[in-house]
Amino acid sequence: MSILLQPPPVQDWLSDLLGAFQARTARIGIVGLGYVGLPLALRSAAVGFPVLGFDIDEEKVARLNDGRSDIEHIPSERVAAMRADGFEATADFARVGEADALILCVPTPLTRHREPDLSFVLRTMEALLPHLRPGQLISLESTTYPGTTAEELAPRIAGAGLVLGVEIFLVYSPEREDPGNGHFETASIPKVVGGHSLACRQAGVALYEQLVETVVPVSSTQAAEMTKLLENIHRAVNIGLVNEMKLVADRMGIDIFEVIDAAATKPFGFTPYYPGPGLGGHCIPIDPFYLTWKAREYGINTRFIELAGEINQFMREWVVVKLSEALNERGKSLKGSRVLVLGVAYKKNVDDMRESPSVEILERLVAKGVLADYSDPHVPRFPKLRQHRLEMTSVPLTAGSLARYDAVLLLTDHDRFDYELIRRHAALIVDTRGRFRRLDACVVSA
């Protein structure tokens, strides 16, 4: 008598994962606990998910486990509350298998030759691979060129012996954080999700719909990657346009800020963008070049994007020239002048210095022999940056300190600056943000 053996049932990894997301019992692993990863960890914990954070910076891991935040707009009280709810940070990537979802929030900068630098993403994947297991979702949130997820991550995961879309699931969902913007938070910003397969997208949507109010599924990881680039290229090109208009208006003796405000009264067909000393932040100065680089593979030259990049980059030099001209008109040379830079963060009311044009302008001034200092209430000490080393601390703004400088250069218009104090006591103000609007003989627009 023969006995027919039934094959063991095939585990339905997708159904298990969907159920864990819906029940909020899945453990969420956030890889990279900076300006993107930490808010996502806070949101995940706030809705009831157990959260495990990964970061290679052991000092940051220790601070977070002590309930301390190193990001100004995220209070330590929120980190301490998350820690009390069970959050743990670690630098031990051998614990990757404990997470049911792994969300990658690591930097994607440019190389010195303005080409994509995927080293952080690829090193992170290499650290994850030995510890991946069936039943996990991997989501890349770092901004990158279309094709990165499919061409770089998917083959590595498949090479580890895991079947994509069956055992393990891969999506791309670009981050949309805006540090310091009190009008939006992680929960209220719609989330674009593209999957490596339909099953992958289903898993990604199931996770993110627990975290945010609106999920926007798209057809592929490539479409999601391109969406992120379009968002930031739109801003870069329009800022490049208004910066060019600023150059023209300056030569014609026209206040470009007055013109923009007047144009903005049109109730349709116009969106106001404002000029400045150049682009900053982790996205807008970088993302367009990711698409420019990838487009060459298809024989396309992105001339419009590249021209906007050239104009925005030129604004740094323009500011230095305008400062030099303003000093010359007062009988002073740039070299040897004392100049106080106001604001080194890349935008107002934050401590984020990534790609800040203020940093490059400050370095240019120092290289030209300027006796330069800075004041920034959000950056008390100039931090160690990958490509910049300046040993400086923020100068407090007082009537006496302002009077010591030949010129004050406004680069980042923080609300915490006392602009009336600056107006009364600065010998010369060079204003790149339109905060003073030439209402005084000591003010020069740049």
Q: What pLDDT is stored for residue 3 in this prediction?
A: 54
- The per-residue pLDDT for range 399-429, each reduced to its tens digit, is 999 999 999 999 999 999 999 999 999 999 9
Sheet of 191-195, strand order: 88-90, 51-54, 28-31, 101-104, 136-140, 168-172, 191-195, 215-218
Q: Judge whether residue 273 has pLDDT over 60.
A: yes
Q: 182 and 259, same structural domain?
A: no
Q: 260 and 213, same structural domain?
A: no
| Mean pLDDT estimate for the chain | 93
> How do strand 407-410 and strand 338-342 relate by DSSP bridges?
parallel
Q: 191 and 71, same structural domain?
A: yes
Q: 284 and 212, same structural domain?
A: no
Containing domain of residue 207, as a range? 13-219
- The per-residue pLDDT for range 138-175, each reduced to its tens digit, is 999 999 999 999 999 999 999 999 999 999 999 999 99
Say which residue the tokens 């305008």 belong to.
Answer: 322
Provide the pLDDT confidence category of residue 5 given band limits of 50, 70 and 90.
low
Q: What pLDDT is stored for residue 441 in this prediction?
A: 60
Mean pLDDT of 239-243: 96
In terms of Cβ atoms closer than 10 Å to its own Cβ (0-12, 13-18, 19+), residue 164 is: buried
- The per-residue pLDDT for range 78-133, each reduced to its tens digit, is 999 999 999 999 999 999 999 999 999 999 998 888 899 999 999 999 999 999 99
% of residues, the chain, pLDDT over 90: 85
Q: 261 and 162, same structural domain?
A: no
Residues 130, 94: Cα–Cα separation, whole Å: 8
Residue 5 lies in a domain: no
Residue 388 lies in a domain: yes
Q: What pLDDT is stored for residue 351 in this prediction?
A: 92
Residue 239 lies in a domain: no
Q: Judge whether residue 293 has pLDDT over 70.
A: yes
Tell me the C-alpha to C-alpha distance, in Å, between residue 335 and each of 319, 328, 329, 332, 406: 15, 11, 14, 9, 11
Q: 80 and 44, same structural domain?
A: yes
% of residues, the chain, pLDDT over 70: 96
H helix or E strand, kind and range, residue 102: strand 101-104
Q: Amino acid letter at 234?
A: H
Residue 4 lies in a domain: no
- How many domains in the chain? 2
- The per-residue pLDDT for range 357-382, each reduced to its tens digit, is 999 999 999 999 999 999 999 999 98
Residue 249 lies in a domain: yes
Q: 33 and 169, same structural domain?
A: yes
More confident residue, 285 or 415: 415
Q: Measure CA of the first residue to CA of the last residue in the chain; give whole Å.
A: 94
User: Which position among 105, 200, 283, 442 bears the catalytic label?
Assistant: 283
Confirm if 345 and 379 have CB atoms less than 8 A apart: yes
Q: 180 and 81, same structural domain?
A: yes
- The per-residue pLDDT for range 43-89, each reduced to its tens digit, is 999 999 999 999 999 999 999 999 999 898 899 999 999 999 999 99
Q: What pLDDT is stored for residue 18 in this prediction?
A: 97
Q: Please say if 442 is a catalytic residue.
A: no
Dihedral of the CA atoms 77, 78, 80, 82 (nearest 10)?
160
Q: What pLDDT is stored for residue 182 in this prediction?
A: 78
Q: Report residue 382 CA to chain centroid gap.
A: 19
Is pTM beyond 0.85 here?
A: yes
Q: What is the DSSP string of 112-137?
A: TTS-B--HHHHHHHHHHGGG--TTEE
Q: Judge whether residue 1 has pLDDT over 50.
A: no
**Closest to 195 measured CA to CA, from 205, 187, 186:** 205
Mean pLDDT of 334-351: 96
Whichever domain contains 441, its CATH number is 3.40.50.720
Residue 7 lies in a domain: no
Q: 250 and 203, same structural domain?
A: no
Q: 278 and 391, same structural domain?
A: yes
Q: For residue 206, is it left (φ>0), alpha (ψ between -120 and 50) or beta? A: alpha
Q: 269 and 193, same structural domain?
A: no
Q: 258 and 125, same structural domain?
A: no
